[in-house]
Structure 1
Amino acid sequence: MRKAAAIPLSLLGLGVAGLGYASVIERNWFRLRRFDVPVLAPGQRPVRILHLSDLHLTPRRTRLINWVRSLDELNPDLVVNTGDTISHPDAVPAYLHAVEPLLSRPGLFVYGSNDLYAPQPKNPARYLLGPSSKDKSQHIPNLPWTELGAGMTAAGWHDMNNATARVKVGDLDVFVGGIHDSHINRDRYDEIAAPAPAEADLRLGVMHSPEPRNMTRFAQDGYQLLLAGHTHGGQLCVPFYGALVTNCGIDKPRVKGLHRHESAWLHVSAGLGTSPMAPARFSCPPEATLLTLVPRRPKRP
């Protein structure tokens, strides 16, 4: 009897330990990932892009705020925020404090659903069954997304929600196209649809959720590098296997990191935060990424 009772108690103990690790240790185990992206013309000087995503910030996440502030030491040439920045009505001042050292640098941003709508309690098992449904296009936002955007645009960052812009990044003339979050049906690619100017040194596409239908349109319009977030890298992953879900249309092997999508490079950030309703990560530490754009190798005859 004692042995029979010991087995479920042991399993319960392992579960509690795993939950404690996921919610306390790994959730705060911030990492910087680095990739070289061979996307520039031969002879151009490398530039650095700091990619931030999915902070899901609440005012008391002091460790995360201080870690983001330290990223200015990387001396990036451009900062790109691909959304889901806040998860609390009072989080905008905390976020602007977190990125304050970076706001003097060129920057771009798009929104994610949680910049507009506060997270709601839900059954976590539903997350494993497929992409969540958030058609909130007709609902009234209940988070201060306009205040969030105003804080960044006041510092000179470009609002790329269904918009295009021309940005000077280091020595580069960069053409940028961006869309609002497809997860809440606010993406309007038709509003920016057109071949990206071939004379630009770099053609950069920015979005929150990496939906293949939008990535394909970016690639077909000549964008060379696409940046997205949203997936949390799977958030709860299986060691040596990877993500169980992506929460969007992208395939699981590309749930995070640097990959290709047709003719373009694609970087999907696993993000820095979690929803306050699911404050845990397992086998998928929170991250920001420093992308160093380097010249393409000359084609061999």
Structure 2
Amino acid sequence: MDKVLAKAKTLALTLAGLAGAGVAVAAWGNAELRNFELKTQTLPLLEPGTLRGKKEFRLLHISDLHMIPGQETKKAWVSALDSLNPDLVVNTGDNLSDKKAVPDTLRALGPLLDRPGMFIFGTNDYWAPKPVNPFGYLLGKKRPVSHIDLPWESMRAAFIERGWQDATHKRLEFQVGSVRLAAAGVDDPHHDLDKYDLIAGAPNQDADLSLALLHAPEPRVLKKFADDGYQLSLSGHTHGGQLCLPGGHAIVTNCNIDRKRANGLHKFENMWMHVSNGLGTSKFVPFRIFCRPSATLLKITEKPS
């Protein structure tokens, strides 16, 4: 009987220890939501002379705000990104995580909306998030959307009123400083909202820089952009893995891109691709493990002479 009691006590202590460790990890993962990082990358994509003596073209890539009312630290940090003096801001979607979050989203983006910018949306702009089965998430199972409508129309109208351009199923051509841009975007391919045929074809050959925008880095769409000759794709959606192994190694990507390209700058065939870690999470999974929220400043420079 004494041995049985001893084993029961040992098991109880072990379970209590595991529960305590789980609570500690969850608390740490939740605290990481407010430890924002700015990442920087340099890409020599421009022909010599394009910048006319300027050092670089500064492209600020933001994604996956997943804004909830009251996230004051996030609002302040995102607004302060304006001090980087970006030449162009690109927002690759999933701005909302709550029906009442549009005002806070606009406050967070604040001064960035006064700069040249483009955007596309993800499904968490159109429909609210819903509770997640953690086992299904870790197994990489695709989740259906909630079909609980979010007020994306008013957010889109505010973006456009402030001067940002909607790149959804559009080919855009415009100039920022001395750099002539050609860009095209699709709606969220993770839920098959993309219609690439509407934008198919090579970007204008007179452009200095060609950009492809898609919320989720789905390889089937990336390949179409790469085949058409775009230089750089910009996407988010993966949250960099969100719940990662030490070193930021993703366990799942929540789409069909491989885990090694779940975040950061990589090559996809002959095209560069940048996948943002994102700045938020679903309100139902408020944790980040070894994967802090971030925005990225891409410094586009001239190629060596």
Q: TM-score, normalised by structure 2?
A: 0.93
Q: Using the TM superposition, name which of 5-14 and 121-130 deviates more.
A: 5-14
Q: Once the 2 structures are TM-superposed, how far is the Cα of residue 90 of structure 1 from its aligned partner?
A: 1.2
Q: Secondary structure at the match of 1:175?
A: strand
Match of 2:181 in 1: 174
Following superposition, the deviation at residue 131 of structure 1 comes to 4.3
Q: Is the 8 A contact 2:64 2:94 kept in 1?
A: yes
- Residues 1:28 and 2:34 are matched in the alignment: yes
Which position in structure 1 is the counterpart of 2:94? 84
1:44 to 47, 50, 61: 50
- 2:104 is matched with which residue? 94
Aligned with 2:114: secondary structure?
A: coil
Tell me, yes or no, if the aligned pair for 2:117 and 2:163 is still in contact at 8 Å: yes
Which residue of the partner structure matches residue 222 of structure 1?
Answer: 229
Three-state SS of the structure 2 residue aligned to 1:154 is: helix
1:200 aligns with 2:207: yes
Q: Which runs of 5+ in 1 are unaligned?
A: none
Mapped contact 2:123–2:145 kept (Cα < 8 A): no
- 1:277 aligns with 284
**Cα distance, 1:134 vs. partner?**
3.0
What is the aligned length?
294
**Contact 2:278-2:293 within 8 A present in 1 as well:** yes
Aligned residue type for 1:275: S
Who is 2:26 aligned against? 19
Contact 1:162 1:189 in 2 (8 A): yes
Contact 2:63 2:279 in 1 (8 A): yes
1:116 offset after TM fit, Å? 0.5
- Alignment of 1:249 onto 2:259: no
Structure 2: where are the runs of 5+ without partners? 1-5
| Equivalent-residue separation in structure 1 for 2:250 and 2:150 (angstroms) | 29
Please say if 1:120 is aligned against 2:126. Answer: no
The equivalent residue for 1:211 is 218
Does structure 1 retain, via aligned residues, the 8 Å contact 2:248–2:291?
A: no
Counterpart residue number, 2:75: 65
Given that 1:130 and 1:245 are in contact with CA atoms closer than 8 Å, whether structure 2 keeps it comes out as yes
Match of 2:164 in 1: 157
Q: Deviations over 1:220-255 (max 9, x none)?
A: 111101000000000000114711100011000000
Structure with higher Rg: it is: 2
Offset of 1:167 from its aligned partner?
2.2
Distance in 1 (CA, whole Å) between partners of 2:188 and 2:269 is: 21
CA contact under 8 A between 1:131 and 1:248: conserved in structure 2? no
Match of 1:260? 267
Give how far 1:263 is off.
Answer: 1.0
CA contact (8 A) 1:134 1:183 kept: no
Give secondary structure in 1 for the equivalent of 2:162. Answer: coil
Give 1:56 deviation, angstroms: 0.4
Structure 2 Cα separation of the partners of residues 4 and 218 of structure 1: 56
Q: Distance in 2 between matches of 1:95 and 1:107?
A: 15
Aligned-partner Cα distance in 2 for 1:290–1:90: 29
% identical equivalent positions: 46
Question: Which residue type is aligned with residue 73 of structure 1?
Answer: S
Within 1, Cα distance between the matches of 2:129 and 2:69? 15
- Partner AA of 1:250 in structure 2: I
Change in Cα spacing, 1:256 to 1:281, as seen in structure 2 (3 Å) is: same
Q: Is the 8 A contact 1:204 1:224 kept in 2?
A: yes
What is the match of residue 3 of structure 2? none
* Equivalent residue number for residue 293 of structure 1: 300
In structure 2, the CA distance between the partners of 1:241 and 1:158, relative to structure 1 (3 Å rule), is closer
Classify the secondary structure of the residue corresponding to 1:153: helix
* Mapped contact 1:69–1:101 kept (Cα < 8 A): yes
Q: Deviations over 1:163-192 (max 9, x none)?
A: 111122231010010111012221111100
Please give the alpha-carbon distance, in whole angstroms, between the structure 1 residues aligned to 2:293 and 2:190: 21
2:152 equivalent among 141, 145, 151 = 145
- Secondary structure at 1:103's aligned position in 2? helix
What amino acid does structure 2 have at the position aligned with 1:56? H
* AA of the residue aligned to 1:31: E
Q: Structure 2 CA distance, aligned partners of 1:241 and 1:56?
A: 21
Counterpart Cα distance in 2 of 1:178 and 1:240: 31
